[in-house]
A and B are shown apart, each in its own frame.
Chain A
Amino acid sequence: MRIVVLVKPVPDPASAGERLGPDGRLDRTAAPAVVNGNDEYALEAALKLIAAAPEGSEVTLVSMAPPSAPDTLRKALAMGATRGVLVTDPALAGSDAVSTSRVLAAALRDLEYDLVLAGVDTSDGVGGTVPAAVAAHLRLPYLSYAARIEPDEAAKTVRVRRISPTGYDLLEAPMPALISCTQVLGEPRYPSLKGIMGARSKEIATRSLADLGLDPATVGGTVAGTALLETRTPPLRGATEIVRGTPPEGAARILELLATRRLI
């Protein structure tokens, strides 16, 4: 089984340094970069799938990011990914979701895979449109909001349990397919020390736009179809009380809270 995981370096949400520069673009110097949290869940799901798959199965990371990205991708390699492909090019600065998806799709055309996994969204932009757009560019079946992934290598199909407002939908599609991954798939592992040391010698292949056969004039900030007009900090919400416990305990506590506020 060959799985590609789309990963994006994002400003560490825990650093409190996430901010926009004067041009409305992310200020990447303000916070250390980390692998996007949802992408780590996608990678964890991929690693579990190849652990259960035949010998020789592998996970390839594909990322579109600034040239400093290898430092961030090493952590994903340390978790167990086999290799990385980094698309980086000065012309890509300011790319919108359309550009990004075109570039990632171009990078994927050079690879062989059974599944492409991506986090449902990224913690910096939170658009959540790139995975679907990549699938559209490549005409791949798109299975979204996965809570469980069950490939059948013999039948060349994959079954996904998709989170829905009322529970789960069961989706089935032929492979190759692209799946957007939720955190319900399971906590990402910590890289082991052997994994960390081993990651230093793993390959991260760098691709420019020219390598992918893309014209720099067709991607990046200059042709972005979306523009940031204004940003506002959302108003602070009041203190939140989180109710924990068994369902009966929780229900009793919630009833109590509603009653004290005279809502029931």
Chain B
Amino acid sequence: MNETAGAPTYRLTEDQQLLRDAVRVLADERVAPRAAEIDRTAEFPEDLRQLLAAQDILALPFPEEHGGLGGDLLSVCLAVEQLSRACATTGLILAAHELGALPILLAGSAEQQARWIPKLASGEWLICFALTEAEAGSDVAAARTRAVRDGDTYRITGSKRFITHGSVADLVTVFAVTDAEAPRHRRLTCFVLEVPAPGFAITRLEHKMGLRGSPTAELAFDDVRVPVANRIGEEGDGFGIAMRTFERSRPAIAAQAVGIAQGALEVAAAYAADRRQFGQRIGDLQMVGAMLADMDAATESARQVLYKACAEIEAGSPDAGRWAAMCKLVAGDAAMRVTTDAVQVLGGYGYIDDFPVERMMRDAKITQIYEGTQQIQRLVIARALLGKGR
């Protein structure tokens, strides 16, 4: 594909198309056949994690100097989208891996990056992001897990809840309060903990509505020692690191949502072209045809906001937080609506697990909740509009 020099392009680059198509083939042939079983057994698909590692998909978000592919944000999102189209749990393996690693990529020292990134890029290690607590969800700064300096280490005590991959990760990016008296946004500090570690325990695995193969853990820290060398940034930087992380991780969740919506749309369209009632294909009935058209338009709209958000964030837009929030908001709502309508198009067959749309509908719901609820996304967008909190 020849792009006219200097002309802005509104299409994916050739590299991005190649990458997307390669992941799509893998998702269709290797991931999709496993999706129903992953959902039914609620077991983490270690085989697919190995596959993503072997195919360099887990290497996408990481710089080439540390064994990564140096993919831009949009490339990561294209991969998450294609995987999620087949299986949202599998898409989350990449999205959550990127989320956990972002603090190291954004604020880690050269030494810290050299220490951890190669094993994350190869997929040998998984990393998780541990910020949320039972009493600190949307209100991140209300976290109570404490980290107390003790010589060359910090001693961390507290617990984290709803931690994606918490039970399968080798590294835990954990946020803890180092100064409870500081202003709200200067209380938290970010650490990377290599696990297992004395005092660290997985105390609970959640039973979830969707993403059932993705383990969501409660993590307990009982006087866990973390070397000072594992602190990301300075004391008090944690809240800022988390917010910068979300600017790049929310698009990945939006990509997951777009992928789920696309997957459901494809099943619904194929069904409507095949299923006959009243002597015709149900897709030719105007009420069904209109639903399909709205589903397609909603999915494509969400995809375009996402791709545009990726381009703006990658270009260093001062509006990055707004773009990240907006794409997650639009895509999460689209995924919920499209999957719900897909179940409707399939009628009784949509409500049973002979078809994947009921799973997709259950999987879609979380995209309206995690990495900031839709209400938090609206808060971020509204504040940007009003010129506050940027």
Contact = CB atoms under 8 A, between A and B. Distances in A.
Interface string A170-193: 000000000000000000001111
B15 A192 contact: no
Contact of A193 (B22, B29, B30): B22
Interface residues of A, number: 10
B55 A197 contact: no
Contacts of B195: none
A194 interface: yes
B57 A193 contact: yes
Given A197-B15, A197-B69, A191 B59 contact: no
B56 A193 contact: yes
B326 interface: no
A196 interface: yes
Contacts of B15: 197, 200
Interface string B18-60: 1100110110011000000000000000000000001111011
B198 to A, nearest CB: 38
Contact of A192 (B18, B25, B29, B55): B55
Nearest to B26: A190
A197 B69 CA distance: 9
A218 to B, nearest CB: 36
Main secondary structure of the interface of B (DSSP, over half): helix
Nearest to A75: B22
A196 B79 CA distance: 14
A193 B60 contact: yes
Interface centre among A190, A192, A193, A195 (most CB of B within 10 A): A193
A196 B59 contact: no
A193 B54 contact: no
Nearest to A194: B56
22 contacts: A190-B22, A190-B25, A190-B29, A190-B30, A190-B55, A191-B22, A192-B54, A192-B55, A193-B19, A193-B22, A193-B55, A193-B57, A193-B60, A194-B56, A194-B59, A194-B69, A195-B56, A197-B15, A197-B18, A197-B19, A197-B69, A200-B15
A193 B70 CA distance: 11
Contacts of A192: 54-56
Contacts of A194: 56, 59, 69
A78 B23 CA distance: 13
A196 B26 contact: no
B18 A196 contact: yes
Q: Shortest 8 CB-CB distances between A and B: which pairs? A: A193-B56, A192-B56, A194-B56, A192-B55, A196-B18, A196-B22, A190-B26, A193-B69
Contacts of A190: 22, 25-26, 29-30, 55
B117 to A, nearest CB: 16
A191 B30 CA distance: 13
Nearest to A195: B56
A78 B19 CA distance: 11
Interface in B7-22: 15, 18-19, 22
B72 to A, nearest CB: 13
A197 B13 CA distance: 12
Nearest to B69: A193
B25 A193 contact: no
A182 to B, nearest CB: 21
Nearest to A193: B56
B311 to A, nearest CB: 20
A195 B15 CA distance: 12
A196 B25 CA distance: 13
Nearest to A74: B18
A195 B55 CA distance: 9
A193 B79 CA distance: 11
A195 B57 CA distance: 11
